[in-house]
Amino acid sequence: MACLTRMAFMRLLSSLVAACGAMACGVCAVASGPPAQVDVYVSGRDGYHTYRIPSVIVTKRGTVLAFCEGRKNSSSDTGDIDLLLKRSTDGGRTFSKAQLVWDEGPNTCGNPCPVVDRRTGAIVLLLTHNLGGDAEPQIIARTSQGTRTVWKCESRDDGIAWSRPVEITSSTKKSEWTWYATGPGAGIQLRSGRLVIPCDHIKAGSKEMYSHVIYSDDGGATWRLGGETGPGVNECEVVERTDGSLLLNMRNYNRRQRRRSIATSGDGGLTWSAPAFDATLIEPICQASIRRYSPAAGDGKSRILFSNPASEKSREKMTVRLSYDEGQTWPVSKLLHAGPAAYSCLAVMPDGTILCLYERGDRSPYEKITLARFDLAWLTDGRDPG
């Protein structure tokens, strides 16, 4: 038996050595299996016509929180829309029943954009609100009954219970702004402790769209307005680079440049550079997600993730990319879903598992919201140069 065990060991060792012959930058090129994908919200079920606008974060305790808008009567951006949450305590393999975070009758409660304060474990959720009868064109033209307002609520028990939403419009929205949206997606906490939430707006008398951020230096108790960039951009997400600067990745409305727009900030989001195009990040005019996977520590490799429907013609081909140079280039990409797909949100588990919560379907991108779970080995085909 000992002889057989030794022989089996030697065969295993031999196979590993052979596999490592395909090494890339010192790493054995052995990839893991395909992503595990679970449908978290399915349109038409549990009293809602459509589920949209996914947002996912991982709490300080490792719980996965999957937010979305529950659209009661139609797929429209207008009307009776509730803010929903499902929790997972097993890494995103299974989820609880949906809980209502905010329901205000026939009105619109949406655009979830949460952020975790790693110092306290508190989860701060930024949202927007408008009357259910006020459509976006009316709000922009200022012919609506009300306008878009900005709100926050928080949880201090790992997402089980949530405080009543509190309005913060006066400190985060200029009087000349009409349309306004938080996120959607997720915010970040800088190394300084500052909480930063990506947002967008439209100015009165104009249909031009702009991106901006809001920030908090006191754990989410109070919020201030940061810098804006634009025009011609709106829904965005932000990542902190290893040199402390911020990279803002934005939805771009220039139909001659079906690429993501980017801008940078060297002062924590107070001001931004002029927008530029990222030639690699093609888009059909849609929301996208950007998230740091790892800092330039440990193995010395900085990694940033990006997800969007990678198509210039339509919302399809949900793709995840990886950058090793702070978002300057994207040498790694993998397709999660070849069919219809739209909004997405990325997160990273404590063990390095990558999560992508995204809209997908067979005939339409809005049939379900699915969570994909995968690792760096799958994304890079085992060739991550760590």
**Residue 352, domain CATH:** 2.120.10.10
* Residue 47 near residue 103, CB atoms below 8 Å: no
The range of the structural domain enclosing residue 159 comes to 39-379
What residues have CB less than 8 Å from 127, skipping those under 6 apart? 83, 102, 109, 110, 111, 112, 113, 150, 151, 152, 153, 165, 182
Residue 2 phi, psi (nearest 5): -60, -40
* Residue 361 near residue 339, CB atoms below 8 Å: yes
Domain count within the chain: 1
Residue 297's pLDDT is 62
* 226 assigned to some structural domain: yes
Report the alpha-carbon distance of residue 123 to residue 153 in Å, rounded: 9
Structure tokens at 355: 């999560």
Q: What share of the chain is helix, strand, coil (3-state, %, to 5)?
A: 10, 45, 45
Q: From first to last of its 386 residues, what are the pLDDT tens digits of the chain?
A: 343 344 343 343 333 333 333 333 333 345 678 999 999 999 999 999 999 999 999 999 999 999 999 999 999 999 999 999 999 999 999 999 999 999 999 999 999 999 999 999 999 999 999 999 999 999 999 999 999 999 999 999 999 999 999 999 999 999 999 999 999 999 999 999 999 999 999 999 988 999 999 999 999 999 999 999 989 999 999 999 999 999 999 999 998 999 999 999 999 999 999 999 999 999 999 999 999 999 866 667 899 999 999 999 999 999 999 999 999 999 999 999 999 999 999 999 999 999 999 999 999 999 999 999 999 999 999 999 76
10 Å CB burial of residue 364 (0-12, 13-18, 19+) is middle
Residue 115 phi, psi (nearest 5): -150, 145
* 111 assigned to some structural domain: yes
Residue 7 phi, psi (nearest 5): -65, -40
* 284 assigned to some structural domain: yes
- The residues with which 196 forms a beta bridge, in sequence order, are 188, 215
Enumerate the H helices of the chain as residue ranges: 2-19, 136-141, 169-172, 376-379
* 66 assigned to some structural domain: yes
Say what the alpha-carbon torsion angle 90, 94, 96, 100 is, to the nearest 10 degrees: 100
Look at the chain and count its residues.
386
Report the alpha-carbon distance of residue 375 to residue 349 in Å, rounded: 10
What residues have CB less than 8 Å from 191, skipping those under 6 apart? 240, 244
Letter for the amino acid at 278? D
Query: pTM above the 0.85 mark?
Result: yes
Structure tokens at 236: 């965005």
* Residue 346 near residue 305, CB atoms below 8 Å: yes
Q: Using DSSP, state whether 4 is helix, strand or coil.
A: helix
* 13 assigned to some structural domain: no
Laid out side by side, the sheet with 368-374 consists of 36-42, 368-374, 354-360, 332-348, 316-323, 303-309, 289-294
* 203 assigned to some structural domain: yes
* 193 assigned to some structural domain: yes
Residue 296's pLDDT is 63
- Give the helix/strand (H/E) hosting 251: strand 246-252
Structure tokens at 286: 């849609």
* 176 assigned to some structural domain: yes
Q: Using DSSP, state whether 76 is helix, strand or coil.
A: coil
Q: CA nearest 113: which of 51, 180, 52, 68?
A: 68
Residue 25's pLDDT is 34
Q: DSSP state, 20? A: G
Residue 145's pLDDT is 98
Residue 147's pLDDT is 98
Report the alpha-carbon distance of residue 326 to residue 276 in Å, rounded: 15
